[in-house]
Amino acid sequence: MPSESAVDAALRVLRHRDRSTSEIRDRLGRAGYAHEERDQAIETLVRTGVLDDARFAAIRARSLAERGAGDARIRHELRRASLSEEVVDNALGAIEPEAERARNVVARRGPGLKTARFLQGKGFSEEIVAGVVADRREEELG
């Protein structure tokens, strides 16, 4: 049995960065806290607003988008944190649209094949990539 309370252990983890409810539950389980202790700690943290899956998802989605990730990559990362589809969808809806983010990359890098592969590797949909690259080529050809 761990020496500090489950709430204190969770707060120590949350001091470094925000996490999802599921991540905290897993961390507390690995630290040896009983199921009931974990649930009580999570309930306390949610009730006080310290632990908030919607806030975590919004911050994480924005951070990934700012680092050039497409919607598929963002969705994958949020699902890995065991967030509900509703929370994931809301987080994706709150960031800049995928097509606009892709346009910004194409404007910086040019409409070439390397840029298209780069965008696909970052999780942008094929339809968005093809459309944005084609639009930029048309603009350049004028």
Domain boundaries, the chain: 6-47, 53-93, 98-141
Residue 51 has which token pair?
Answer: 């632990």
What pLDDT shows up at residue 142?
A: 66
- Contact (CB, 8 A) for 115 and 105: yes
CATH top class, domain 53-93: mainly alpha
Nearest Cα residue to 19 out of 75, 96, 76, 77: 77
Res. 3: pLDDT tops 90:
no
pLDDT digits (tens, 9 = 90+) for 17-75: 999 999 999 999 999 999 999 999 999 999 999 999 999 999 999 999 999 999 999 99
Separation between Cα atoms, residue 14 and residue 54, nearest integer Å: 15
**CB within 8 A of 97, min separation 6: which ones?**
none
pLDDT given at position 32: 96
The stretch 101-113 carries a mean pLDDT of 92
pLDDT value at position 73?
97
Quick: pLDDT tens for 112-129: 899 999 999 999 999 999
Helix (H) or strand (E) holding 133: helix 126-141
Cβ contact 58:94 at 8 Å: yes
Instruction: Judge whether residue 2 has pLDDT over 80.
Output: no
User: What are the pLDDT digits (tens) for 72-96?
Assistant: 999 999 999 999 999 999 999 999 9
Q: Which residue has the tokens 């960031």?
A: 95
Nearest to 55 by CA among 87, 15, 86: 87
pLDDT of residue 103: 94
pLDDT at 123: 97
Exposure string for 63-85, b = 16+ CB within 10 A, e = fewer: ebbeebbbbbbbbebbeebebee
- Pick the closest to residue 53 from 27, 96, 18 (CA basis): 18
Which pTM was predicted? Answer: 0.87
The per-residue pLDDT for 1 is: 61
